[in-house]
Amino acid sequence: MLLAIYTTLLSRLGGQTLTVGTAVAHRSHPQTYGLIGNFINMLALRTDVAGDPTFGELVSRVHRTCSAAYGHQEVPFERVVEEINPPRDTSRGAIFQTTLVMQPASAPADFAGLDIELIELGSRSVRADLELHLWDRPEFVGRLAFSTDLFDRTTAQSFVDRFVQLAETAVVEPDRRLTELPMLLPDERVRLQQWSRGEPACESFVPVHEQIAEQALLRPNAPAVVDSQGRTLTFGELAKAATALARRLVSLGVRPETRVGICLERSVDLAVAALGVLASGGAYVPLDPGYPAERLGYLAEDSAAPIVITSPELADTKLAGLPATLVWIDGDDVPAALPSTVDSGSLAYVIYTSGSTGRPKGVQIEHRSLANLAYAMRRRPGLGPDDTMTMIASLSFDASVAELFPPLAAGARVVVVDADDARVTAAGWPRSSSGTRSPSCRRWRPLGGCCRAPAESTAVAYERSAVESRLATSWPARWPSVMRHGTCTARPNRPSGRRVGR
């Protein structure tokens, strides 16, 4: 039972099955009972916790493990190590790094005329990283010894507290699975509840594409998306183009959570494509045209995207041979019924990791998260119809979500920036009623000798990118409320430069 509790604690803390060592007296023969000396042998106990068993099932597994181990307790531990021959590391034990030792109940020896008292002797060294010693007495006693190179007293005490809590719960509720047994201590639970009392999420769920469609009804002639090529779409034009694309996607078989790839250059077409996919009920998968064709093929295949929205030029150069239906951003409207709405738990988009630690992995985001983001950014920094937001991040980067959807949902203008032209000057900062400034790319020019931001700005948002050193030193000093991350990037004039935001 105690080993099952300890195994549960270790597996929950470490997320894996760990081997626990235990000591046996090695006095199984009557001839050894009266001998003086150390006959202790160590056993390695490894209990499988795969499948998230109930605590009762784990106790049965532990019983089988212990029965098998004690049946071979005569085998010297050194022989076990020799046979297994694990990779050696002087920083830790070869087979196990933690032990559980059950000390038998024993009464002091009776010497006539003498008073005998047991004295606990402290120890300044440990043989394993964690050593749990338990004594079977009328009042159960335990002690956790730990390596001070790895743990401090506060951490060790939390291990003990969690062990006691697991014991109290598991014994009473043995049918609960290991992952269901409480690990949070009462004071930790109270602390988390206090931390979570933040601002409420949106009161009622409205998909982001429907919020943007509402803006199109309220402000059809207001500019919605602008790009570096000088193209502008009003909210009415954006909604019309996105709806037409959504109908074509539905006619091609797109249903809720169908993945649809988007492989387009940076322009207003990105907004049309993303909104069209969301309106069709599908989930968009960004395919950056700057990626190698091999990576694009992997992303399309791994995401199981049967359709990719692209252009004829990219279809020939980047997507040749891709086993998917290619759809141009422009096309005739078709009579197809769009979903009346989408569920808050439906998939909105899939963005892949860089793959720097292995193959890229898709991160799936639901509509409720997108709606909550739009709601939160309306509150802080307070986006509104008079604001302009630059979209500098690639659609394959999650920052693009905050740069595109929340502003449009708030009726603000989005400027899709060509990354090569992202240069900041004082002349390129439009005024906004909310006090948040975002540069307009149509008025940008290279930094050159300019190293100042507009005097009327109360908040400046820019990413952690290298900028010209004079700009990096002057802005934070003059504007203490500057946000050193976000949506506006000051690009460097040269590869070397000072990093902002550290």
| pLDDT of res. 198 | 61
* Neighbour tally for 485: CB within 10 Å: 12
Give residues with Cβ within 8 angstroms of 104, minimum separation 6.
136
Query: What does the pLDDT look like over 71-108, one tens digit per residue?
Result: 999 899 999 999 999 988 888 888 999 999 887 766 66
CA–CA distance, 414 with 404 (Å, rounded to integer): 7
Residue with tokens 């900041």: 424
User: In angstroms, how far is CA 337 from the centroid of its own chain?
Assistant: 36
Give residues with Cβ within 8 angstroms of 36, minimum separation 6.
none
Bridge-based pairing state of the strands 307-310 and 259-262: parallel
CA–CA distance, 316 with 331 (Å, rounded to integer): 18
The helix/strand/coil state of 324 is coil
Q: Could you tell me the sign of the dihedral formed by the alpha carbons of 349, 265, 268, 392, in that order? A: positive
Report the amino acid identity of residue 301: E
For residue 386, what is the DSSP state? T
| pLDDT of res. 419 | 59
| pLDDT of res. 333 | 73
Parts of the chain with a pLDDT under 50: 422-502
**pTM metric for this prediction:** 0.55
CA end-to-end distance (rounded Å), the chain: 50
Please classify residue 207 by burial: count the beta carbons closer than 10 Å to its beta carbon, then call 0-12 exposed, 13-18 middle and 19+ buried. buried
Bridge-based pairing state of the strands 498-499 and 466-467: antiparallel
CATH topology of domain 208-413: Rossmann fold (3.40.50)
Please state the domain extents for the chain.
2-107+119-195, 208-413, 422-502
| pLDDT of res. 338 | 85
- Contact between residue 56 and residue 180 where contact means Cβ atoms under 8 Å apart: no
Per CATH, domain 2-107+119-195 is 3.90.1150.10: no
For residue 137, what is the DSSP state? S
CA–CA distance, 13 with 18 (Å, rounded to integer): 11
Selection from 425, 323, 438, 423 nearest residue 383 by Cα = 438
